[in-house]
Chains A and B, each alone.
Chain A
Amino acid sequence: MPESYPREHIEDLVDDNLEWNQLHDMMSDFKDADRFQKVRDVLQERVDWDDPIIIPYADHLYVVAKSDDKWIIKCDCGHEFCEHDENWKADALINVRDTEEEYLDIYPENMHPHPDYMELREFFCPGCKTLLEVTNVMPGYPLIHEFEPDIETFYNEWIDEPIPTPEQTA
């Protein structure tokens, strides 16, 4: 097991360009010690803004540092959603499919849930209009808040590194 993989290998991992056997080896082995920081560096390099990424949050979304104690969720297009512990979905553009007709846009006939029983909610970024997330829930169900990251614990106790601040990258 390498303590650390070369930068190109991690880029391939982020881009899903690894062969299955390479990926399998990485999954089966002990985790390389600097995996998180390397992945973070690759992602940071690819966005057009300078706010330091604290963690990747979901596809296209990151928690970034605006100051020492203000962390927000931000899309890779630059759109800023909310505080890291709030639900970004409340600020997203939402399309709800809750009729037979709307389901049939994307499903074959008789292959979708009944609209009285399940509705499909599609969440888009107000900035770039990218589809960020889809949930399938009963009508009336509250917005699902998937992930509330415990950033202090992660940085202080898991990886033992300082939490990035805007000054560091500036």
Chain B
Amino acid sequence: MASSEDNPTDHNAEILSIDAGGTMTDTFLMDKDGKFTVGKAKTTPEDESRGFINSSQDALEDWNLNVEEGFPDLVSTVYSGTAMLNRLVERESEVDVGILITGGMEDTLRMGRGRQSYTGFSYSDRLHVNTHKHPEPLIPRDQIRGVRERIDVKGNELVPIYEDDVRESVNDLLDRGVDHIAVMFLHAYQNDTHEHRAKEIAEEIIAERDMDTDVMLSSEYYPTLKELPRLNTLAAEAFAAEPSRHQLQNVQDAVDDHGGEVGVRVMASHGGTVDIHANELARTLISGPIGGMIGANYFGEKLGYENMVCTDIGGTSFDMGIIIGNDWDIDYNPEMARLLLSLPMVNMESVGAGTGSYVRVNPTFDKIELGPESAGDQVGVSAVETDVETVTVTDCHVALGWIDPENFLGGDMPIDREVALEEIEEQVAEPLDMGVYEAAQGVVDILENKLRNDLEAVVTGEGYAPSNFKCLSYGGGGPVHTAGYTKDLGFDEVLIPEWAAAFSAFGCGAADFEYRYDQTTNIDIDADLSMEEAAETAGEQLTDIWKHLEDKVAAEFENSNIGRDEIDFQYHILGQYQGQLNAIDIESPVSRVDTAEKLERLLDTFENAYRRQYSEEARSPELGHTVTQASVRGVRDVVKPEIPTEETHGPEPPAGAHKEPRETYWDGEWVETDIYDLHALQPGNEITGPAVLEGAATTFVLPPGHETWLDEHRVHHLSDSA
């Protein structure tokens, strides 16, 4: 197994970060000096705690520890599981959910939205109308009941709630044996009185009938605009997240049983971790690629990098995200399992291209195409123990000599170069009448061009100049392609941490203990008001909402016995000029805006952010402002991983870092290439391409014309030699 060093000595396992994927549970373990090791075990879906313990054990073994010896030292444990997501993807759950919705809106889930008919599909399937299809709703139509009532977009009552409708519907749903009743009325984020009245009535009936059905309100969980994502999310909470609580409790019990004294936290989409007893659990459905963003941000804060572009290549996808001023953007309507949700999620762009992407020749146009399907963690045809039949990008790396067949995943995965060559010849080279190496090089070029275009679109498409950013490259497959996909884009610097393969897990370990609540608002700050008048009206209104959200955050921390005085609160708004369509996300410099002076500071912050994002000329304060959403984040300190700091040596790599040179293929030629042991290099070492730097879980390829040096934090700085 991979490890940051060779000889196990005394370690205190302090930070444990576990990612239970569909097939494997990965562990990232770090001690107080920033030394880390990783472990793996099969995921055990029926009781995830077994896979959790096995994977922890596998990691601890590298340090000659067992679970009983290792767990008592833990000070931070972050878990991300997969059971919830599977319930959503499979549309299968142990629980039945009934829905009460505004009368006339009963088909909301079935009708969906246009966007939901192609969301989550590959580019070409999104483009072509014949491949669009509305996904199956989470809750079948016969478990949905309409209640006559109506609140308008401003929160006024247009039609009072018909309480008999509620009684009849609740009785009916209880007769069907539902475990949860989810209530979602239109515009309840503006006025929640009808939802609360429905809950009172439902709970009376449930008590009368002596049942223990649970009632959930959209206004309590997700008081945000747009009824479809709000209802999807509420349904996901009841349908997928609630049933996972006992799995998480099992994991906590497993920690306790083995002498651990640490509360297990779960990675959540907003970029922080939450307690397993959190009221809102659905946001832990989505954690996937955001671990890397969190790790990158933490890394940037520690090392003084404010603006970063994060790039992560795995087997199936290329994920990109932007960090500016050490903060990320939030996507308020992310997609998961083909459902649009109403959750705050760290914003990332993902394209379906990775090292496991299938390589095929399009028979109509005789050209090479990649993906969108991939072999994922099955690697490729050259991985002889798998049953992959289609050539992948990794097979091409193997053919070109970039990847050492003996050293793939530290030798854990047997790779046969001959098989790769035969299959590339048959599937790609022959149909195109090309040489096999030429074809393999062609595949790599196509992938890197595609990644470069996507990356450029993400950065310049947002109006940013790459020269203001450090590009950070990680993921198991990242460093093979970094030089290729960053070429000529003009980033300030290109950085590759040595622990690239474990960077996402590192990021989960670096995540804050954080809750975040958002609420849609409709607060106008008219331009003709004096600042005093505005503070008394709009300012008071926003302050009240912040206080309410603050209470919700504090209530979440109370579940973990953490008091208000230990929480660091942050206040955000989405703000825009009146009449505009797009709002920008602002962190408020003040926690209250009920005085003229404080409100002015908030508006100044907005003006500055607007100027930065658009331009001075685009500012239009004469239109007045609208606050469309208020958010409160509460953060509590946790122990974070250390970034290693080592002594700097000279530019010459030590003798022990050299491995047997071999021939590799570059631009039509075989070149004798230096091979290095990635982990044996010393800070200060400089290497000029062509070279291949081999680590336990990742390979860093340095093409001709490129050079790299290793800094004291074991981060490589890649640049063109020119």
Contact = CB atoms under 8 A, between A and B. Distances in A.
9 contacts: A1-B360, A24-B133, A27-B128, A27-B131, A28-B122, A28-B124, A28-B125, A30-B362, A31-B364
B363 interface: yes
Nearest to B125: A28
B615 interface: no
A20 B125 contact: no
8 closest A-B pairs (Cβ-Cβ)? A27-B131, A28-B125, A30-B363, A30-B362, A24-B131, A20-B133, A27-B130, A28-B131
Given A28-B122, A28-B124, A28-B125, A33 B131 contact: no
Interface in B340-367: 360, 362-364
A153 to B, nearest CB: 16
A27 B122 CA distance: 12
Given A20-B133, A24-B133, A27-B131, A33 B125 contact: no
Contacts of A24: 125, 131, 133
A135 B130 CA distance: 22
Contacts of A20: 133
Nearest to A32: B363
Interface of B is mostly: mixed
Nearest to B358: A1
Contacts of A27: 125, 128, 130-131
Interface of B: 122, 124-125, 128, 130-131, 133, 360, 362-364
Nearest to A33: B363
Contacts of A30: 360, 362-364
Nearest to B369: A30
Nearest to A28: B125
A131 to B, nearest CB: 24
A1 B372 CA distance: 12
B694 to A, nearest CB: 34
Contacts of A31: 363-364
Contacts of B122: 28
B366 to A, nearest CB: 12
Nearest to B122: A28
A33 B361 CA distance: 13
Interface in A33-47: 33
Contacts of B125: 24, 27-28
Contacts of B133: 20, 24
Contacts of B130: 27
A79 B364 CA distance: 36
Contacts of A1: 360
A28 B130 CA distance: 10
B686 to A, nearest CB: 46
Contacts of B363: 30-31, 33
A23 to B, nearest CB: 9
Nearest to A24: B131
Given A30-B364, A31-B364, 16 more contacts: A1-B360, A20-B133, A24-B125, A24-B131, A24-B133, A27-B125, A27-B128, A27-B130, A27-B131, A28-B122, A28-B124, A28-B125, A30-B360, A30-B362, A30-B363, A33-B363
A28 B133 CA distance: 13
A1 B128 CA distance: 19
Contacts of B128: 27
Interface string A103-142: 0000000000000000000000000000000000000000
Nearest to B365: A30
